[in-house]
Amino acid sequence: MTRRLLLAAAVALAATPALAQTPGPFYAGANLGLSIFHNSTASQAGFQSVTVAYSTGFAFGLLGGYRLNENFRLEAEISRKAADIDTVDSVNAGGGSLSVWGFMANGYYDITQLKWPVTPFLGAGLGAARGTVSFPGQSDQTDTSFGYQIHVGFNYNVNKQLQLNARYTYQGSQDFEKNGQKLSYGSSNILAGIQYFF
């Protein structure tokens, strides 16, 4: 009887590491990269609109998600994208910047059927974008608008729990509006990220 108990305990201990390495459906992650703001149109009632151009900026994000099955994932994401304003109608802007916080609910489709070393994915998100325009010596102008984004990229499985990924994300929103002034927004983002399943 004692031998049987010892054997059962040994089998249970041997199986524990394998069970611990089995990932659950939840994951958390982060991404970082370059943000290329598309030219904006700035307008105010009674005045001619102007074109705002930006320098290349940066982007980062934090996320948490749930894998529904092999192909579908749902995710909540908080991100920030920022870039210096380069010119306004081809005239030097004098140190201005635009930063955008994104609060998005994303859905993804992982194309696992291909059985490639990397897994391509497509995704889209909806939520809110909070934009802030800053100029030295002036009060910041902030507004929150409806935001949206699309994702195209691929995941690479380091092991059962850890994924690396690279993606292109387009993010846009309705015009930011403050004190009768409107500013359009759209950005292309090249990102690298990491995801851990638990």
Residue spans per domain, the chain: 22-197
Question: Can you give the pLDDT of all 198 residues of the chain as single tens digits?
Answer: 544 544 444 444 444 444 445 678 999 999 999 999 999 999 998 889 999 999 999 999 999 999 999 999 999 999 999 999 999 999 998 899 999 999 999 999 999 999 899 999 999 999 999 999 999 989 999 999 999 999 999 999 999 999 999 999 999 999 999 989 999 999 999 999 999 999
8 A C-beta contact, residue 173 and residue 146: yes
CATH code of the domain occupying 22-197 = 2.40.160.20
The pTM for the full model equals 0.87
Which pair of structure tokens corresponds to residue 168? 């292109």
Which pair of structure tokens corresponds to residue 149? 């984004």
Instruction: Name the burial class of residue 103, with classes exposed (0-12), middle (13-18) and buried (19+) by CB atoms within 10 angstroms of its CB.
Output: middle
- The DSSP call for residue 70 is S
